[in-house]
Chain A
Amino acid sequence: MAKLTGQERYVDDLPIGDHLWGATVRSPSPRGRIRSIEFGPGVDWSRFTIVTADDIPGRNAVFLMEYDQPALADDRVRHVHEPVVLLAHPSRDVVRRAAKLVAIHVDPEPAVLDFCAPPTREQIQHGDDNVFKRILIEKGDVEDALAAAPIVVEGEYFTGAQEHVYLETQGMLAYVEDGVVVIKGSMQCPYYVVKALKPLLGRDESGLRVIQTATGGGFGGKEEYPSTIAAHAALLALKSGRPVKLVYDRWEDMAVTTKRHPARIRHRTGVDETGRLLAQDIEIVLDGGAYVTLSPVVLSRAVIHAGGPYACDNVRIDGRAVLTNAVPFGAFRGFGAPQAFFGLERHMDGVASRLGLDPAELRRRNLIRDGQSTATSQTIRDGVDREEVLDLALRMSGWAERRAEIERLNAADPLVKRGLGLATFHHGAGFTGNGEVMLESVVHVAGTPDGGVEVRAASVEMGQGTTTIFTQLAADRLGLDAERVAIAQPDTHRVPDSGPSVASRTAMVVGHLVERACDDLRRHLGLGNDARGEVVSAAIRAWYDDDGRETPTELVGEAVYVQPSHVEWDEETYRGDAYGAFAWAAYVAEVEVDLRTCETRVTDFVTAQEVGRVLNQTLARGQIQGGVAQAISWALLEDVCWKDGAMQNAQLTNYIIPTSDDLPSIRVAFLEVPYEHGAQGAKGIGELPMDGPAPAIANALAHALGVETDRIPLTPERLLAELDRRAASAAETGADAGRRAAS
């Protein structure tokens, strides 16, 4: 209710009295040496707190995977908008205007701006080839299988960057209290901020406290980037001795924060005449931008999903994430998988068309059955009937009849063309391979003196429903009313590290820890797992009443992550069980294109998915519909325009996301096969809906127009160019035929 009445306090809403406002001065250049910093005339700079790299007490890096990204550029810059100088001042308006009066002068060096082109020697900035990470997955013998295959189909696909556009822009508040640096703000991963600030400020956990405030959307955009803003706010607070609030406006948020990695995906696929997959040879290149950020793990998820939910004995997937001098790319819902599936599922339609097979039939013949294995040789045995998922989507969309009807309609209508497209896909939940083991996530459930419990986890509420789900899980586990369950605000001095709120892991992985911590709490009380409700409440109250000491020992149940025994993963060879569980889905899109404007409308969208047990219908449906909306938008509207590796259209005026009138009602159906290692049988759900819509829409557009739709976003301009190209090649063919006839 607080969100509805405007009472919810986001970081920019926090009243903190006598604070300063921060602003960031940034590089104008994609690469070069900083020659000088010029503070403009007409401003009394003595009234500002000014921070540069020289003011950093510890190591100048925003650490997550590597130490390569400085918190403030020192002698050189590696991308446009790289932070160089920080300012703070009592007035929000003054500091923002003053930041524009500081000039950073840079002697340029050769920048890399095309991630597909091999770098020249002068452009090398990482290792000897600018490759941040390469991953190779091999199964069977691809070359032999391709050589022997009766039919080989090749294709090349491109996906563009995408800006998160969470409605609350990023921001942090920092202050020093009793010698502790306190950070409050909008974030997905409080412990990532701690990890980044420890080396930067030369402090340990006790001298750093990170508290998540109400977070207005994340989608991955508040996974790693908040650490940078927290670092800046902390440096300004330490230097000024005052609280500092650093809140980005929309332009700054869109221009300087991470985005989805642009990608090029190539496929070479061998099939027999019946459409059975004999070999998949796949290459993926991701544009990493100027620093490593999370690109290696985004690449990991991309390559693991690139072969799709299909059984194939011979697979090679070769992935690279490469450096360019673009603003660094980072986490975004789906985390590499949407790019991989765009390539794969467009390509599957190409294969179907070559064979003259119905796209649904080609997929049906290749969907993994229990006992068969994925590209990483992970044997799937989860009891899910993936054909049933496909059939559900086909039934809901009336696939075969509607395709036929559309073809009749298109033949009769010269101006409006319709199309129906399909994608089948899967999404692994939780961290990849041994990732969850390395995280060693911990959850506490504490008894409160009134007989209730408080769940303490670092998982954040950002709109996806963590608070509701954790409340439900603890209440159900202990047989308590929901009113007896409190969820602690993520605060690194109060909650243990239960890992980041990413990777569709919160309900499935951390939720399961909540359940186990409830069991541990009962153990402390001498109760078995059959004790529920008032029995538990009474025992909790008794714990505090009977303790007898002045300060009773707090009753805390704890759970630490344990890898399910069936999961085995080899990081060296990229073989084994990449994820404990996959969600499976089939989506169908229907589109309508007006040939006068080349504008595409999605007129119907059907989603069928198996996500384990659905914990909360409203929240689950909201996750699917919201994810689909973002993916439709990525496929059709969201076009990041680049200059020197920086976004030129960092405004909602010319970077378009859909309104309520641009989207159809999104139909959602779940099949439920409980997953025994997930909370109440749940599997991850948050990212799945980002994977399928783009290829389903591109396939629908190809069906509608008969043109190549291998590059997104499929804006009206791009569709018009494709239609012109088709017309030109048709004219060419016609002219050739004419010449041949004449000769």
Chain B
Amino acid sequence: VTAPVHAGDLPATGPAIAVRFHLNGAKVAVEVDPAERLLETLRYRLGLTGTKEGCAEGECGACTVHLDGVPANSCLVLTFQVEGRRVESVEALDEAALEPFLAGGATQCGACTPGVVMTAAWIVGHPELLETHRIRELMAGNLCRCTGYDGIIESVETALPRELPGTAKAARDTAPGDA
């Protein structure tokens, strides 16, 4: 996907840097410009276009990836910073886990969706977060212009594991008297 940058067209920002990291379970080695962002490396160098550029300044979350298991805006990460680290992009997500998002009106145009499901997957995998935070707070790093968010929030609730105490889902699913 990437066209080579011809030396001499414009000055590079510095000598190329060799970077090795784990991407979606596989080892990856790339040589990048010091100013190259992880988002660009994923999209234009490695052809993983599931990660979207929405704003390129860390506001919209469309480029969310997991960096060592935690959501991060890949537009704010310089590629050399992920040396030796673990990166998961939307391509690594399990399709079955996404079913609630398909049914629940969580996606309209789809441009924010890869980032939304990356954050949602993190919440679903760490329901203990809901002991101290609301879903609306945790999802606030992912802007959506289509849905008004209700469809997204409800889909996250649906996707939460059923048997976890202390979560909104558990509270909602437990009928009075069940305990």
Residues B47 and A625 in contact, CB atoms below 8 Å apart: no
Cβ contact within 8 Å between A660 and B149: yes
With contacts A4-B98, A18-B3, A622-B108 taken as known, whether A217 is within 8 angstroms of B145 at the C-beta atoms is yes
A660 touches B152 (CB 8 A): yes
- Chain A residues whose C-beta falls within 8 Å of the C-beta of B89 in the assembled complex: 6
Q: Are B111 and A167 in contact (CB under 8 A)?
A: yes
* A85 nearest CB across to chain B (Å): 17
A18: min CB distance to chain B, Å: 7
Determine whether the beta carbon of B44 is less than 8 Å from that of A463.
Answer: no
Q: How far is the CA of A152 from the CA of B141 in the complex (A)?
A: 49
Chain B: interface size category: 35 or more
Is A1 an interface residue, CB under 8 A from the partner?
Answer: yes
Closest to A218 in B: B109
A5-B50, A91-B5, A626-B147 as given contacts; A168 in contact with B57, CB under 8 Å: no
Most chain B CB within 10 A, of A47, A93, A164, is at A93
| Neighbouring B residues of A44 by C-beta, 8 Å | 8-9
In the assembled complex, how far is the CB of residue B71 from the closest CB belonging to chain A, in whole angstroms?
14
Give the distance in Å from the alpha carbon of A532 to the alpha carbon of B137 in the complex. Answer: 50
8 Å CB interface, B83-117 against A? 89-91, 93, 95, 98, 101-105, 107-114, 117
Question: Hey, what's the 0/1 contact readout for A669-697 against B, CB within 8 Å counting as 1?
Answer: 00000000000000000000000000000
Return chain B residues, CB-CB under 8 Å to A216. 52, 109-111
User: Judging by beta carbons under 8 Å apart, are B107 and A166 in contact?
Assistant: no
Q: A3-B110, A5-B95, A217-B109 are in contact. Are A657 and B143 (CB under 8 A)?
A: yes
Asked if B126 is an interface residue, CB under 8 A from chain A, the answer is: no
Query: Which residue of A is nearest B144, CB measured?
Result: A167
Q: In the complex, A4→B115 CA distance in Å?
A: 9
- With beta carbons under 8 angstroms apart, the residue of A15, A168, A619 that contacts B111 is A168
Contacts of B172 in A (CB 8 A): none
Query: Is residue A630 within 8 Å, beta carbon to beta carbon, of the partner chain?
Result: yes
**A3-B110, A90-B4, A168-B109 are known contacts. Are A661 and B136 too (CB-CB below 8 A)?**
yes
B111 touches A660 (CB 8 A): no
A464 is an interface residue with CB less than 8 A from chain B: yes
Task: From A3, A21, A626, A665, give the contact of B113 (CB < 8 A).
Answer: A3
- A74-113 contacts to B, CB under 8 A, are 89-94, 97-98
B137 touches A661 (CB 8 A): yes
Please measure, in the bound complex, the distance between the C-alpha atom of A625 and the C-alpha atom of B105, giving whole angstroms.
Answer: 11
Across the interface, B55 reaches (CB within 8 A) one of A625, A652, A661, A665, namely A652
The answer on a CB contact under 8 Å between B110 and A652 is no
Q: Flag whether B59 is at the interface (Cβ < 8 A).
A: yes
Binary flags per residue of B51-81, CB closer than 8 Å to A gives 1, else 0: 1111111011010000000000000000000
Contact A622 B140, CB 8 Å, known A5-B91, A5-B95, A216-B110: no
B residues less than 8 Å from A622 (CB atoms): 105, 108, 146-148, 151
A249 near B56 with CB under 8 A, answer: yes
Complex-state Cα separation, A652 to B145, whole angstroms? 12
> Is B49 at the interface (CB under 8 A from chain A)?
yes
Decide if A649 is an interface residue (CB 8 Å cutoff): no
State in angstroms the CA–CA spacing of A662 and B47 once bound together: 35
Complex CA distance for A43 and B152, rounded to whole angstroms: 47
Whether the pair A15, B1 counts as a contact (CB closer than 8 A) is yes
B134-170 vs A, CB cutoff 8 Å, 1 = contact: the mask equals 1111011111111111111100000000000000000
Q: Is A19 an interface residue (CB 8 A)?
A: yes
B90 — which chain A residues lie within 8 A by C-beta? 5-6
- Would you give the shortest CB distance from A255 to chain B, in whole angstroms? 13
For the complex formed, measure the closest distance between the CB of A535 and the CB atoms of chain B, giving whole angstroms: 32
Question: B175 within 8 Å of A by Cβ?
Answer: no
Contact between B145 and A653, CB atoms less than 8 A apart: no
Whether A1 contacts B145 by the Cβ 8 Å rule is: no
Which residues of chain B are within 8 angstroms of A164 by Cβ–Cβ distance? 145
A239 lies within 8 A of chain B by Cβ: no
Asked whether A165 lies within 8 Å of B4 as measured between CB atoms, the reply is: no
Contact residue among B91, B111, B117, B148 (Cβ-Cβ distance under 8 Å from A629): B148
B117 adjacent to A660 (CB under 8 Å): no
- Inter-chain CA distance A34–B91, complex, in Å, is 48
A219 within 8 A of B: yes
Asked whether B50 lies within 8 Å of A90 as measured between CB atoms, the reply is no
Instruction: Give Cα A652–Cα B59 distance, bound, in whole angstroms.
Output: 6
Residue among A21, A94, A219 facing the most chain B CB atoms (10 A cut-off): A94
| Shortest Cβ distance from A247 into B: residue | B53
A653 touches B146 (CB 8 A): no
In angstroms, Cα B110 to Cα A214, docked, is 9
| Chain B residues positioned under 8 Å from A660 (CB to CB) | 135-137, 139-140, 142, 144, 149, 152-153
Q: Is the CB of A167 within 8 A of B54?
A: yes
Whether A9 is near chain B, meaning CB under 8 Å from some CB there, is: yes
Contact A4 B8 (CB under 8 A): no
13 contacts between A and B (CB under 8 A): A6-B90, A6-B114, A15-B47, A91-B3, A92-B44, A97-B10, A166-B111, A167-B52, A167-B145, A618-B104, A659-B140, A659-B141, A660-B137
- Taking Cβ atoms with an 8 Å cutoff, the residues of A that contact B are 1-10, 12-13, 15, 18-21, 43-44, 47, 89-94, 97-98, 164-169, 214-219, 249-250, 462-465, 618-619, 621-622, 625-630, 651-653, 657, 659-663, 665-666
